[in-house]
Chains A and B, each alone.
Chain A
């Protein structure tokens, strides 16, 4: 098999700040908490880091969506890097920073790249409850959001509700099945000391929860937090001398959806961009979906998990909710445990990076009460406009 870039790379350390809603710490402090933990976990010193990437580029818009840039992180760490890079909204989504780091390491530009993701959306909402909406700060809405906001669709919940409704109608499922994603997330979050919501919920609680935008209810939506996640991606030649058993990046997959440009294809029951990511992922490995023993599947909204899981072929088309129904097969002791740290629905919106953090946690056997027995191969996917997927493996 061709030597793909990701086969030259290993994940050697991870770190995460305390979650807060809100956090008493400034975003740069959260970033440093995560970064220094990840660097130490990798057995490195800050000066060993020669590249930094984050997602997305620092922005003062978007209500705390990305309050810390790669440059200020570098200076705060007191180091001097060879390469800095930010993923953007126009790339393959949240994982574009991870993919950039892989390319930097595989091409010989860097040996150890620190990748981080910092969010401060809970702090932003203290200033303005509307800060995280799609309406923007101008008197009128422009760009891609102009196609939806004038019709009252000020939240991504409205858009993803269209996908949930179309999926339900096509395959004959409903909230009684979808709700198990939220129940499962909460059940796992109760065993994650850094999750934001840990009080158990039942399917009855889910069905009684407030309607947001039909058919999506409160518990179908993830929650704003303040926090940071970091990981270190190292070249395989150095990873073997670092303390953790290296996590192989067995395969990467990426795809662009039209959503970011306001262009939709398909019939709203699939994510065409995620389908591309899934096809790419499985084209770069000899493993198959049946080999995956835990999956960390994006859940900005519960319906993402359904569509993404089908896109990376963990389930056939229209089969996800049949598998998820009842919550047993996706539980920690089930056939395919998913979102074992609570996901974003109950763990908090670490915005994709919580999923990669959790996959590494599982592969390193650090899950404590939520540990999946014998976890060796984890599928991770992120994104709702650009799409990225990882297959992570431990020997």
Chain B
């Protein structure tokens, strides 16, 4: 599958997320006071209002909450069907990331177990996901 990609701007609050894959680890903002994982990053913990927040590695595992197979060529680029999905990370209920699942569209299902795999584009390590059974190929 070929996904037409426009890269994210690395901003002060988000650069850690987009460069986290440099050492092959996914990182999410974590509250050291109450343990809440939080994404996209906010300035304070929305649960305890604590300011002691830092990116911490997570397992990179999760499950597909929902997905779609895009068919439309939105831009002038030719598009092959690709999977866009919302993934609930294993660390916390409703801790969602959006990404692509690198799987055949017909293999997709809600509840699919997935694991992160990074794809580097310039100074960005995009966190993509693969089905768990294929994670170590």
Contact = CB atoms under 8 A, between A and B. Distances in A.
Interface stretch (B19-27, B29-37, B47-55, B63-71): B63-71
A267 B96 CA distance: 10
B72 A166 contact: no
Contact of B68 (A135, A150, A161, A263): A161
A257 to B, nearest CB: 13
Interface string A334-375: 000000000000000000000000000000000000000000
B137 to A, nearest CB: 21
Contacts of B67: 162, 165
Nearest to B74: A154
Interface in A258-272: 261-268
A130 interface: yes
Nearest to A170: B110
A148 B68 contact: no
B43 to A, nearest CB: 12
Contacts of A142: 8-9, 11
Given A151-B84, A263-B40, A158 B70 contact: yes
A213 B82 CA distance: 9
Interface residues of B, number: 36
B109 to A, nearest CB: 8
B103 to A, nearest CB: 14
A108 interface: no
B45 to A, nearest CB: 14
A146 B9 contact: yes
Contacts of B4: 152, 154
Nearest to B82: A152
Contacts, number: 118
A154 B68 contact: no
B84 A213 contact: yes
Nearest to A136: B6
B132 interface: no
A140 B70 CA distance: 21
B98 interface: yes
B71 A212 contact: yes
B126 interface: yes
Contacts of B76: 129
Contacts of B85: 162
Given A142-B9, A150-B5, A162 B100 contact: no
Interface string A161-175: 111011001000000
B7 A140 contact: yes
B6 A150 contact: yes
A141 B7 contact: yes
A267 B9 contact: no
A130 B74 contact: yes
A237 to B, nearest CB: 44
Interface in A272-314: none
Given A147-B98, A151-B98, A154-B75, A135 B6 contact: yes
Contact of A266 (B68, B94, B100, B105): B94
A138 to B, nearest CB: 7
A210 B81 CA distance: 13
A166 B6 contact: no
B110 to A, nearest CB: 5
A44 interface: no
Given A158-B70, A214-B105, 15 more contacts: A135-B6, A138-B9, A141-B8, A141-B9, A142-B11, A149-B6, A154-B75, A165-B66, A166-B66, A166-B110, A211-B71, A211-B72, A213-B84, A214-B70, A215-B68
Q: Which 10 A-B residue pairings sit nearest by Cβ, starting from the closest?
A: A161-B68, A166-B66, A146-B8, A140-B9, A142-B9, A152-B3, A162-B66, A214-B69, A211-B71, A212-B72
18 contacts: A129-B76, A144-B40, A147-B40, A150-B6, A150-B7, A151-B5, A152-B70, A155-B74, A165-B110, A169-B66, A213-B69, A214-B69, A214-B105, A261-B40, A266-B94, A267-B65, A268-B65, A268-B66
Interface of A: 129-130, 133, 135, 138, 140-142, 144, 146-155, 157-158, 161-163, 165-166, 169, 210-216, 261-268
